């Protein structure tokens, strides 16, 4: 075989190998679904490659290891927890694992969190100073979100008019790009997509305003432990509301007093606030928490039942009652 032929074959093999190499370093896919990856301290390059491959974040653990060793980066991969996604190439993943880019953090806002709770969560994660998000919720301009209520003078100032409209979910953020106002706008944007726009027909046919639905959903969120309870409790509260009865929801007075778990005193239950739903009838002036979708759906689709009362025992089990006498029996039986 002529020397020129061998040269051509060698070039073709090199080109093929390089093309294969580049393909194996390319992103797995174009989707932006995040994966949380924890790299244990002391992990070898090959074990990191196997972990990333198993989670669908790289094409080849072999070429991952080859790339890292080729660039002499094996000692620079940092242990820790990262948020990665399949649209990253292997070199981009390596750069993140070397700390060249600040990794994303996950911020999960649980159902039932208040604005103050969210503020404390972000401060604990080091994303903002304590009070910054709360101050913005009370003072920043969110007028472009037209679903927000025109807050009356009786509504609590503690969460601003955003209370109830910050959609609980998991959000991905980076510390260097974090601003409280932008983060609040993201939460409001998800609420708009999922509820204000997404449930327009349901709200219209419910016979209640969006504000009343969200306020009722916040009571349901605070008063229930499971999704099965939510529509039944919503049915009880709407029924009491329509009969102009006291709703008797203690979580509302806890909200205005900032008293999460300590026992309510006689003075607490006598406080002259429209959030005291033992003393005042109707809904509170605004939501007392940011409800999840299940509680919003329950407020929109309450379940009819014969019950007028409910309580939870010390184990969290709910007990319903038809009459006040039945409720008193449940109190004696199930409450300490």
Residues 238-279 pLDDT 10s: 999 999 999 999 999 999 998 888 788 989 988 999 999 999
Q: How far, in Å, CA of 275 to CA of 263, rounded?
A: 17
Does residue 252 or residue 59 have the better pLDDT?
252
pLDDT at 43 over 70: yes
Residues 128 and 233 in one domain: no
Q: Which has the closest alpha carbon to 247: 184, 310, 195?
A: 310
What mean pLDDT is reported for the chain?
87
**Residue 223 pLDDT level (bands cut at 50, 70, 90):** very high
Length of the chain equals 336
The pLDDT of residue 180: 93
| Range with the poorest average pLDDT among 36-40, 98-102, 261-265 | 98-102
Q: Compute φ and ψ for 318, nearest 5 degrees.
A: -90, 145
pLDDT (0 to 100) of residue 23: 66
The winner for highest mean pLDDT among 71-75, 233-237, 276-280 is 233-237
Same domain, 211 and 329: yes
Domain finish residue from 156, 172, 196: 196
pLDDT, position 166: 97
Residues 324 and 229 in one domain: yes
> Taking a C-beta distance cutoff of 8 angstroms, is the pair 309, 324 a contact?
yes
Specify whether 239 is located in the same domain as 292: yes
Question: Considering only CA atoms, which of 254, 234, 237 is closest in space to residue 245?
Answer: 237
Top pLDDT among 240 and 16 is at 240
Residue 104 has pLDDT above 80, yes or no: no
Say if residue 199's pLDDT is above 60.
yes
pLDDT value, residue 203: 97
107's enclosing H/E stretch is strand 105-108
Work out the pLDDT band at 8, boundaries 50, 70, 90.
very low
Report the b/e string of 97-132 with b at 16+ CB within 10 A. beeeeebbbebebebbbbbbbbbbbbbeeebbeeeb
- Supply the CATH number for residue 88's domain: 3.30.1490.480
Residue 254 lies in a domain: yes
pLDDT of residue 26: 77
**Which of 49-53, 94-98, 160-164, 222-226: highest mean pLDDT?**
222-226
In a domain, 11, yes or no: no
Asked if 213 and 273 sit in the same domain, the reply is yes
Q: In this structure, is residue 329 part of a structural domain?
A: yes
Q: Which of 80, 97, 114 is the last residue of a domain?
A: 97
Residues 161 and 110 grouped into a single domain: yes
72 and 170 in one domain?
A: no
Burial of 226 (0-12, 13-18, 19+ CB in 10 A): exposed
DSSP annotation of 152 reads -
- Clarify whether residues 286 and 248 are in a common domain: yes
Question: What pLDDT sits at residue 222?
Answer: 96
| Same domain flag for 271 and 324 | yes
- Is 141 part of any domain? yes
Strands 309-312, 80-84: pairing kind = unpaired
State if pTM tops 0.85: no
| DSSP string of 252-305, one letter each residue | HHHHHHT-SSSPPPTTGGG---TT-TTTS-S--SS-SS---HHHHHHHHSPPP-
**pLDDT category of residue 2 using cuts at 50, 70 and 90:** low
Average pLDDT over residues 131-135: 94
Domain count, the chain: 3
Asked whether the predicted pLDDT for residue 6 surpasses 60, the reply is: no
Binning pLDDT at 50, 70 and 90, where does residue 148 land?
A: very high
Domain-terminating residue out of 35, 70, 97: 97
219 and 318 assigned to the same domain: yes
C-beta neighbour count of 60 within 10 angstroms: 18
Residue 286 is predicted with a pLDDT of: 93
Could you tell me if 180 and 266 lie in one domain? no
- 78, 43 contact by CB (below 8 A): no
Residue 13 has pLDDT above 50, yes or no: no
- In the chain, what percentage of residues exceed pLDDT 70? 87
Lowest mean pLDDT among 105-114, 145-154, 178-187: 145-154
Helix runs in the chain, H state only: 3-25, 45-54, 61-70, 90-97, 115-124, 132-139, 180-191, 200-206, 210-223, 229-242, 250-257, 293-300, 324-334
12 located within any domain: no
215: pLDDT strictly greater than 90: yes
Evaluate whether residue 81 is within a structural domain: yes
Neighbours of 200 (CB within 10 A): 11
Q: Are residues 173 and 229 in the same domain?
A: no
8 in a structural domain? no
Contacts of 122-125 with CB under 8 Å at 24 or more apart are 122/180, 122/183
Supply the range of the domain harboring residue 42.
24-97
Going by pLDDT thresholds of 50, 70 and 90, the confidence category of residue 14 is low
**19, part of any domain:** no
Question: Is the predicted pLDDT of residue 73 greater than 90, yes or no?
Answer: no
């Amino acid at each position: 075989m002529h020397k020129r032929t061998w040269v051509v074959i060698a070039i073709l093999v090199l080109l093929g190998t390089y093309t294969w190499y580049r393909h194996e370093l390319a992103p797995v896919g174009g989707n932006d679904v995040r994966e949380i990856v924890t790299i244990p301290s002391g992990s070898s390059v090959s074990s990191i490659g196997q972990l990333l491959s198993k989670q669908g974040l790289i094409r080849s653990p072999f070429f991952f290891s080859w790339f890292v060793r080729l660039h002499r980066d094996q000692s620079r991969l940092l242990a820790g927890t990262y948020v990665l996604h399949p649209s990253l190439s292997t070199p981009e993943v390596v750069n993140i694992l070397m700390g060249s880019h600040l990794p994303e953090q996950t911020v999960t806002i649980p159902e039932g969190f208040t604005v103050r709770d969210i503020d404390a969560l972000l401060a604990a994660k080091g994303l903002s100073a304590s009070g910054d998000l709360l101050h913005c919720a009370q003072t920043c301009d969110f007028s472009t979100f037209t679903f927000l209520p025109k807050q009356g003078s009786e509504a609590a100032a503690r969460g601003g008019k955003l209370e109830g409209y910050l959609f609980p979910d998991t959000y991905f953020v980076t510390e260097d790009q974090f601003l409280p106002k932008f983060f609040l706008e993201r939460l409001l944007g998800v609420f708009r997509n999922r509820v204000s726009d997404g449930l327009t027909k349901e709200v219209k046919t419910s016979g209640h305003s969006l504000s009343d639905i969200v306020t009722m959903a916040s009571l349901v969120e605070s008063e229930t432990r499971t999704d099965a309870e939510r529509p039944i409790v919503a049915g009880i509260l709407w029924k009491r509301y329509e009969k102009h009865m006291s709703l008797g929801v203690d979580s509302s007075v806890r909200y205005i007093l900032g008293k999460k778990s300590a026992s309510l005193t006689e003075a607490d239950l006598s406080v002259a606030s429209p959030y005291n739903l033992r003393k005042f009838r109707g809904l509170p002036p605004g939501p007392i928490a940011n409800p999840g979708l299940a509680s919003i759906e329950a407020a929109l689709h309450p379940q009819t039942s014969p019950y007028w009362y409910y309580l939870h025992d010390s184990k969290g089990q709910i007990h319903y009652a038809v009459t006040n006498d039945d409720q008193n029996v449940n109190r004696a039986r199930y409450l300490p």
